Chain A
Amino acid sequence: MLNAFKDITEAARRGGSKRIVVPWPTEQDLAVLAEAAAAGLVSPCLVGNGGRLKALVDRSSLAAGTCDILEEDDPRQALLKAMAVVRSGDGDILMQGGAAKSDLFQALRDKDAGWLNPGGVLSLVSVFSLLKREKLILVTDTYINNHPTLVEKQRILGNALDLARLLGMESPKTAVLAAIEQVNPGIPSTLDAAVLSKMAERRQFGRAVVEGPLDIDCALSQVAAKRKGLQSAVTGNVDIYLVPEIDTGLLLAEALVFFGRMKTAGVVMGTTRPVIVDLPFVSRENRVVEIALASLLCRKGGKDA
């Protein structure tokens, strides 16, 4: 099981270098790519205006001859070209680069483009490294879906379970978070959580323990849960935190980073090929870990990467 970011990077490095395709990269992207290439994780393929890209590469620490440049003068076309390269098998990972997120996700959701998994729901899983012990936790969805329906939450949970299993968690323990630990028809998140928990009980998520609704104190502390009369294998030892909606998801991820100084790296799930996006609460150093995470996803093969 992978318990730390260094484990992810090491596992990815052992899997060999992947070709990462980046439309209209920024200077910050180049710095991250240089680090990832030096670590033996990737060889970059940059798509955009040739002159601009050559100048960027010259200013970066990317070693000469370690990246390809594909000429495309229009930024929007650069995104589509980059996606086509990855889809064709000439690339392994798509990185957001300078593309607008709205353009990127619109293109990913295009049913004819072949980027969506059969479930059809994209989600962002943020992986956090705990400070006090060697353990990784997953929080989802922290960026993509505003107010997911129950069906969408089912897919989002499925996406997170896929990543958890890839990281070596055999029977991931999930807390479906809500404001309270009791099922209250007045609080919709508690109803969704209860249904997901019941679905897991009936093995609809495979080997996994899903507990919900759980408030955060019960999720984080077995003692707190016990005081509320709740006993579960999940409390105090959660692998995946599933949030009710995006207000909570984004703010929870940010709170862990800014108040908790916890390191995080995220990856888009639900795609046929690995995709990584640029988020302000991910440090430059941890963007390299995101590339490593995406590299691990390549191993799963095209269909359900």
Chain B
Amino acid sequence: MIGSLADFARLAREKGPKKMAVLAPEDEEFMTAVKASWEKGYIEPVLIGDGGKIAGVAEKVSFSIDPFEKISRADPQGISDLGIGMLFSGETPIAGKGQIPTSYIYRSIIREEAKSGSGMTVSVVTFWEIPGIDHLVAFTDTGVNIKPNLKAKREIIRNAVFVYHLLGYPRPRIAVLSGQRDLGGDLASYGDYRALKEAAEAGDFGSCEIMAATSFTDIFLGRRDRPVDYGRIRGDDMPHILLVPCLDTGNIICKLDFFLDVTRSSLVATSRGPVCIPARSDFSDNIVQQIAMSVVLADRMERR
């Protein structure tokens, strides 16, 4: 069972190097991460993008890219289509996003999933490593679905449960988050919680459990009728998966690592393998961590 980001780093060394289609590594921070991941034995990069820019940035970070396959492409959608195509054809078990808007990547994944007939909805899983919590906690969907309806949320849960099963958690616990409170009537997000809980109980998502909790107050205090006591905040009942109501909520909360003592790491699990999608503001250490996670997920998907 993988319980920490350090576990990913350790396992990535064991399972790597794996071929990774690297899309537009045209930024120093990202190229530094590719270099470090190669040196650690996680990946063997296939560099796709503007040849001149790639060579320039590699030189800046003192990374000799001579030994690696390089494919020159200029337009972002072309770069994305090619890299994601390599993932879906089995040529590389991982794809990773460099300095290219995420929307191009999602578009390519959606097309490939449709072609493959997998029926898989694209969603992003963002892990938090939280001091004092003995497992990784994942927010989803933090990247693709702007305002997912119930049907989309069912798919988002399936994707996250699939990832947790790969990590070795046989029955992940899920909280369907909502701003529901004793004011303002029933929110759509709360209606979704009730429907999803019923569906989980009927076995629609495989082995998992949706908790009777829709807020962090519920998760941490177990009740809402007494005030928080900072000396007694515990995370004993912390779920594995936190389904966020919409993209605004997911993105705003999952990136609180800029503020809080937590470490963040994201990926997209497609039907053919993981896609590493660091934020454009992420730094190289964080990107290396995300690459390690993708390597381990790819290995476990291959073994299935």
Contacts and interface: CB of A to CB of B under 8 A. Distances in A.
Question: Do A and B assemble together?
Answer: yes
Interface of A: 28, 100-102, 105, 143-146, 177-180, 186-187, 189, 215-218, 220-221, 223-225, 227-228, 243-252, 254-261, 263, 278-284, 287
B252 interface: yes
Contact of A254 (B216, B223, B245): B216
A100 B183 CA distance: 9
A7 B134 CA distance: 38
Given A247-B187, A248-B253, 5 more contacts: A28-B227, A215-B251, A220-B256, A254-B216, A255-B253
Given A100-B182, A102-B183, A216 B281 contact: no
Contacts of A224: 258, 281
A215 B255 contact: yes
Given A101-B183, A216-B256, A282 B248 contact: no
B211 to A, nearest CB: 15
B221 A179 contact: no
A186 B146 contact: yes
A247 B249 contact: yes
B227 A216 contact: no
Interface in B132-184: 146, 177-179, 181-184
Contacts of A217: 255, 258, 279, 281
B255 A146 contact: no
Contacts of A102: 182-183
16 contacts: A101-B183, A143-B181, A146-B184, A177-B252, A178-B248, A216-B259, A220-B256, A227-B29, A247-B246, A248-B179, A250-B215, A252-B252, A258-B217, A261-B230, A278-B227, A280-B226
A246 B259 contact: no
A195 to B, nearest CB: 16
Given A218-B281, A251-B216, A259 B226 contact: no
Interface in B230-277: 230, 233, 244-253, 255-256, 258-262
Given A224-B258, A255-B216, A143 B183 contact: yes
Contacts of A248: 179, 246, 248-249, 252-253
B302 interface: no
Most chain B beta-carbon neighbours within 10 Å: one of A189, A263, A282:
A189
B224 A179 contact: no
A28 B227 CA distance: 9
A144 B259 contact: no
A249 B182 contact: no
Contacts of B233: 258, 261
Contacts of B220: 258
Nearest to A32: B227
Contacts of A251: 177, 179, 215-216, 244, 249, 253
Contacts of B249: 247-248, 251-252
A244 B182 contact: no
Contacts of A186: 146
A48 to B, nearest CB: 19
Given A224-B281, A247-B178, A248-B179, A179 B226 contact: no
B229 interface: yes
Contacts of B66: none
Given A186-B146, A254-B217, A180 B228 contact: no
A177 B233 CA distance: 27
B280 interface: yes
B281 A187 contact: no
Contacts of B252: 177-179, 215-216, 243, 248, 252
Contact of A187 (B185, B229, B248, B250): B248
Which of A28, A189, A248, A261 has the most B CB atoms < 10 Å from its CB?
A: A248
